[in-house]
Chain A
Amino acid sequence: MTEWIETFKIKFTNNFITDNRWKYLWDGLGVTLKVTFFAVLIGILLGFTIAIIRSTHDKTGKLKILDFFCRVYLTVIRGTPVVVQLLIIYFVIFASVNIDKVLVAIIAFGINSGAYVAEIVRSGIMSIDQGQMEAGRSLGFNYVQTMYYIILPQAFKNVLPALANEFIVLLKETSVSGFIALQDLTKGGDIIRGRTYDALMPLLAVALIYLVIVVLLSKGVEMMERRLRSSEH
């Protein structure tokens, strides 16, 4: 037993303390959180815009051309792996420009997440009774005002849990950032593995960190859902 503890101590020191190797994990975590946070912002912006265009088309038959482009975007993004999208954006689209990899990852994951957010929000908008739109219009609000004051607040509330889950998934998906040699959390653990030739400890640490964040976020979503349900108005 004491022998096991001794080996653990040595391994731990070797993997995390020597040469300040823990910094790979710490800095990687920073990159992961940064990429996730800004990708979420882009995802929301893109997703809501597309959802509004698509649902407007579904309900009124207007915006045909915009709707077409949105559908192409959704098909392409949801039909190809996110790693491939990341590689294409870095090695093809930004091939000739010197650009921060963090920014590339933010753009790639933001565009990717936007497609999923769009469909979640669209389902939320479509779930609101048509009578709500009619009531708003009958008071004299135009289409956009009715969307803004009446439809979207209700739709947003309905899809909030689904949206939060999408962002938890996004956090885990950023772990493929290493494909463009961006040093995120996963890559950080992998670098330590390369230095110490010990796979178990650094990768387990990486997994543990993801798990803790995801569990915390899920708890947050759970609480939010409960609060939404209790104020079921």
Chain B
Amino acid sequence: MNTKVLIKVKGLQKSFGTLHALNGIDAEIKTGDVTVVIGPSGSGKSTFLRCLNLLEVPTGGRIFFEGTDITDPKVDINQHRQRMGMVFQQFNLFPHMTVLNNMILAPVRLLKKRREEAVETAMELLNRVGLADRKDAYPSQLSGGQKQRIAIVRALCMQPNVMLFDEPTSALDPEMVGEVLDVMRNLAQSGMTMVVVTHEMGFAKEVGSRVIFMDEGKIVEENTPTELFGNPASERLKNFLAKVL
């Protein structure tokens, strides 16, 4: 088992005005880990995730990605983001482009891949998620579950080293949650390093290699899923689990 540290977070802080969303987060994400972040709403878990690729600029602390301190203003964050895929709650597909063009835009423009090559990769991924026949559809013609599966493979087209998921199933109708989780499960089995903010406790238990429980901008508990769910140490986690399970 490769245990190289891919992302290292040290004393991460983020405040919006007087609101302290993150109060000193320390965490390590190793290659191949599926880290699931859970916690009540407003606990800062989404903010934590969005700080990892600097969509939110931290107000304190450091984040090392592949050994580079990406919070250093001299670092070209765009270069590093190319290797960090992100999936959003609201999908954020580009509505003016077909599915295929959504997927090949970044590989062609940023990685300077030839179009045919990018299309080939994209079609392979579309086949994997069972949406190859929708390649010429526009996002508005897709269901929520299809949109999110496309959003996942769009990020994968950049061949990232880590995938960040920001509540990927929260905006979906219940009957579509399964198809998205299936894709994520397969991705985890293929060895992708993943950080997942979610309310799907079943997914956390089954797929997660580590679970982080956050509350009030801090990591309260961090453990393997079996330990964290089976043997919660803190009162706050016990309360939380009692409510959601």
Contacts and interface: CB of A to CB of B under 8 A. Distances in A.
25 contacts: A131-B88, A131-B90, A132-B92, A134-B55, A135-B86, A135-B88, A135-B92, A137-B81, A138-B155, A139-B82, A139-B105, A139-B106, A139-B154, A139-B158, A140-B79, A140-B81, A140-B82, A140-B106, A140-B158, A149-B105, A157-B96, A233-B95, A233-B96, A233-B139, A233-B141
A142 interface: yes
Contact of B96 (A131, A141, A154): A154
Contact of A149 (B79, B109, B154): B109
B94 interface: yes
Interface in A124-176: 129, 131-132, 134-135, 137-142, 145, 149-150, 153-154, 157
Contacts of B81: 137-140
Contacts of A140: 78-79, 81-82, 106, 110, 158
B138 interface: yes
A100 interface: no
Chain A interface size, as a band, is 10 to 19
A232 interface: yes
Contacts of A135: 86, 88, 92-94
Given A137-B55, A232-B140, A142 B96 contact: no
A139 B110 contact: yes
Contact of B78 (A142, A150, A233): A142
A131 B140 CA distance: 16
A228 to B, nearest CB: 11
Interface string B105-130: 11001100000000000000000000
Contacts of A139: 81-82, 105-106, 110, 154-155, 158
A137 B82 CA distance: 9
B38 interface: no
A215 B109 CA distance: 42
